[in-house]
């Protein structure tokens, strides 16, 4: 399942401090729902900084009965109707919905955890573009899975550098990226798959 498919599979609140992420989530959801033949309504649409949006979806908005409701940057629970598809906010404005947090990993790379699944994505042209794990990172995950989920870092570096012909420093940098993304844990020189990352069972990021 892709990030956007997962987001739209049930009513979801995403908390993020990054307005670029909030905009990209709303516009990507609007576009995807329109492709599915759905009418879309955006609550707080007047707050969207349209003057800076260079790639506005072509589909029309409609808040008629039966439309899928997206809420941009909700400030309070009263901003959220009883029925909605996606809400973005800088805080957890409601409790009775699936909840995810979008955080920066590095640069323009973000992570969003929904339940046990962790997604990596970038914001490109005001849209969410899902990002896979780089080749060295995939090899690290595969090695950890092969050895039961954890290994000393020095062994991971040796094995992965041999398999991928990457330098040892490149492997260490890839481990750091996976750690920042919440996909692995590093403790006392041991690298382990994060049990909450969805990767132990060959997660979607591979």
Average pLDDT over residues 31-53: 96
Query: What is the C-alpha separation between 4 and 32, in angstroms, rounded?
Result: 8
pTM of the model: 0.80
Query: What is the C-alpha separation between 34 and 25, in angstroms, rounded?
Result: 14
For residue 204, pLDDT over 70 is answered with no
Per-residue pLDDT band at 194 (split at 50, 70, 90): confident
The 10s digit of each residue's pLDDT in 83-126 is: 999 999 999 999 999 999 999 988 899 999 888 788 899 999 99
pLDDT of residue 198: 55
pLDDT, mean over the chain: 91
**Percentage of residues of the chain with pLDDT beyond 90:** 79
The 10s digit of each residue's pLDDT in 130-179 is: 988 788 988 999 999 999 999 999 999 999 999 999 999 999 999 998 99
Per-residue pLDDT band at 199 (split at 50, 70, 90): low
């Amino acid at each position: 399942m892709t990030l956007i498919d997962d987001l739209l599979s049930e009513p979801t609140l995403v908390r993020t401090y990054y307005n670029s992420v909030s905009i990209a989530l709303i516009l990507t959801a609007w576009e995807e729902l329109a492709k599915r033949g759905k009418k879309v309504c955006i609550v707080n649409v007047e707050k969207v900084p349209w003057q800076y949006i260079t790639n506005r979806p072509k589909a029309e908005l409609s808040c008629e009965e039966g439309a899928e409701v997206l809420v941009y940057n909700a400030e309070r629970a009263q901003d959220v109707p009883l029925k909605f598809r996606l809400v973005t906010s800088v805080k957890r404005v409601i409790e009775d919905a699936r909840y995810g947090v979008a955080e920066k990993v590095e640069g323009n790379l973000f992570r969003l955890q929904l339940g046990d699944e962790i997604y990596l994505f970038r914001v490109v042209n005001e849209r969410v573009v899902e990002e896979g794990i780089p080749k060295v990172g995939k090899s690290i995950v595969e090695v950890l899975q092969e050895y039961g989920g954890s290994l000393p870092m020095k062994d991971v570096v040796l094995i992965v550098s041999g398999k991928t012909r990457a330098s040892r420093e490149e492997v260490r940098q890839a481990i750091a990226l996976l750690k920042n993304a919440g996909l692995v844990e590093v403790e006392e020189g041991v690298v382990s798959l994060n049990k909450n990352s969805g990767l132990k069972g060959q997660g979607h990021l591979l």
